[in-house]
Chains A and B, each alone.
Chain A
């Protein structure tokens, strides 16, 4: 009998000796920022890339890309992140997911675009996980010391009223350069719990307002800027409209 007990104990030891460690419990809290792209006359219809919408001038339009950097996000002395990146096609609405305490961020300030202190650094030197690393920034870096494209809106329009869908009129707004970085200041943010450890805040990007803001954009004649010399007027308009189109949801 004693031998059976001995064998049982040894066998148990065999199993326990190779047992893996239990998982470590995650006690961290996380924050997520979502930017919901909207369209429609009252700005409450979800915008989907490649879908057809009507511009304020009555043109049929499709957005094919909407991307944007946000940098130096925080609330006063509480820094949330150095950089966050919105890419509707590749990432959907998610701007940021990061460890943090939501109670510190009832308001958020930062920059729409890339802060000048970061804009001219070697894009290969940012940490691998940073959206500013050239591997992640991809098309959003000019490739020379002008720095990053702060935001990028591209699409196609049918500007001919001939009853034929012919989206052959491209529009492309690539905004960069330090002077076009704009402040972001969102107050009274409501963080909602999502799961046990995550809180989410939703912003909205009203693309109807972008086209039909204080200074309406006529895509038939105002369809291209790359922030180049000679394009300042449209660049300024696009930058102002875009910054005014972002607000708490």
Chain B
């Protein structure tokens, strides 16, 4: 009996501080942040790793995340469309359409709130939603994890990404978030214009791009910033080409009467306010607005020029709303569009690291 206690005690001592048998230490991943961008805040509980980003990329394109194995994240966030959906509304696996346009995934690592109404405040929690959503991928996370667990390559990828065995929804969303944080766009012609305007040094490559900016594009940029011109900069400025806010930009409510931010806050002061999106790659992310009502940039420009609908919660920065908009003439509309096209970053949509790994 005494021997038993003795061995018991020794065993207890040995196992009390025992580490897991099998561990893997993922490789830190260093984001390539453009020099004129702020730092990206990475959540402490989801550090970027090479293995995590790779896993996230596989999961982003993984159709087994949907109930009938037909849809992945990329089905509604196409790389060719700057990770948005060219359709007005995305259609889920059961043929049901949503009521809002899929937002473009560009520089999303700098965002503090997600979806058009900002109902999620972390990227990881945002990613959790579409899989289980009955009008989107319509599959419980339990089923999703079972499918992934049945695949030895995923078991290995999860092990390498998180340094331990096991698959769950938290790890899956963390990995996708890691991949999505790498989707950084900062190499458009506009970036060179922005750096020049802010007295920042240009590389030799950027010098060459700078020389290619024509007078019409500069004139369009001036209009974009001009208070008496297009007056766009109040909501779309800085290197990320957006401000962090919700805004009612003077759209006439549709039949669905989507009240936007107010559906989250229940505050009538937030009626018809939606998240201000980035204008980066705007030429690639049609259709436009939260409900995809405009199919072309010309329609968008016309809205701000003459189509503003006044309402109690309209953004005070829509300063010419009472006269219908900023009243651009044909030449000004042309120049403004020329500038908007400088926001296209072809390297972003063709980056091989962002494409389907399969």
The answer to whether A and B assemble together is yes
The answer on a CB contact under 8 Å between A7 and B5 is yes
> Across the interface, which residues of B come within 8 angstroms of A44, CB to CB?
none
* B155 at interface, CB cutoff 8 A: no
Query: How many angstroms from the CA of A124 to the CA of B41 in the assembled complex?
Result: 13
The answer on a CB contact under 8 Å between A14 and B12 is yes
Q: How far is the CB of B325 from chain A (nearest CB, A)?
A: 14
Given A50-B269, A122-B198: A138 and B243 interface contact (C-beta under 8 Å) = yes
Give A165's nearest chain B residue, CB to CB. Answer: B312
* A97 at interface, CB cutoff 8 A: no
Secondary structure of the A contact surface, majority rule: mixed
The answer on a CB contact under 8 Å between B12 and A135 is no
Q: How far is the CB of B335 from chain A (nearest CB, A)?
A: 17
The answer on a CB contact under 8 Å between B38 and A145 is no
The answer on a CB contact under 8 Å between B316 and A143 is no
Q: Tell me which residues from 291 to 309 in chain B have a Cβ below 8 Å from any Cβ of chain A.
A: none
Give B3's nearest chain A residue, CB to CB. Answer: A3
The answer on a CB contact under 8 Å between B17 and A226 is no
The answer on a CB contact under 8 Å between B200 and A3 is no
- How many chain B residues touch A (CB < 8 A): the figure is 44
The answer on a CB contact under 8 Å between B316 and A17 is no
The answer on a CB contact under 8 Å between B316 and A124 is no
Query: How many angstroms from the CA of A146 to the CA of B5 in the assembled complex?
Result: 78
Q: How far is the CB of B267 from chain A (nearest CB, A)?
A: 8
The answer on a CB contact under 8 Å between B9 and A141 is no
The answer on a CB contact under 8 Å between A143 and B233 is yes
Query: How many angstroms from the CA of A141 to the CA of B39 in the assembled complex?
Result: 17
> Across the interface, which residues of A come within 8 angstroms of B321, CB to CB?
170
Q: Tell me which residues from 168 to 199 in chain B have a Cβ below 8 Å from any Cβ of chain A.
A: 194, 197-199
Q: Tell me which residues from 1 to 34 in chain A have a Cβ below 8 Å from any Cβ of chain B.
A: 3-4, 6-7, 10-11, 13-15, 17-18
The answer on a CB contact under 8 Å between A154 and B110 is no
Q: Which of B6, B35, B238, B312 has the most CB of A within 10 A?
A: B238
The answer on a CB contact under 8 Å between B12 and A10 is yes
Q: How far is the CB of A164 from chain B (nearest CB, A)?
A: 12
* A180 at interface, CB cutoff 8 A: no
The answer on a CB contact under 8 Å between B16 and A155 is no
* A191 at interface, CB cutoff 8 A: no
Q: Of A18, A122, A128, which is within 8 A of B200 by CB?
A: A122
- How many chain A residues touch B (CB < 8 A): the figure is 41
The answer on a CB contact under 8 Å between A7 and B6 is yes
Given A17-B17, A135-B110, A167-B312: A145 and B198 interface contact (C-beta under 8 Å) = yes
Give B235's nearest chain A residue, CB to CB. Answer: A139
* A224 at interface, CB cutoff 8 A: yes
Q: Of A15, A128, A144, which is within 8 A of B38 by CB?
A: A128
Residues of A with Cβ closer than 8 Å to B? 3-4, 6-7, 10-11, 13-15, 17-18, 50, 64-65, 120, 122-124, 128, 133-135, 138-139, 141-145, 154-156, 167-172, 224, 226, 228
Other than the known A14-B13, A123-B198, A144-B225, what 7 A-B pairs have Cβ atoms closer than 8 Å?
Answer: A123-B38, A138-B243, A138-B245, A144-B197, A168-B312, A168-B322, A170-B319
List 16 contacting pairs A-B, 8 Å CB cutoff, sorted by A: A6-B9, A7-B8, A10-B10, A10-B12, A11-B9, A11-B12, A14-B17, A17-B16, A124-B37, A124-B38, A124-B239, A141-B237, A141-B238, A145-B199, A224-B319, A228-B228
Residues of B with Cβ closer than 8 Å to A? 2, 5-6, 8-10, 12-13, 16-17, 35-39, 41, 110, 194, 197-200, 225, 227-228, 233-234, 237-240, 243-245, 269, 310, 312, 314, 316-319, 321-322
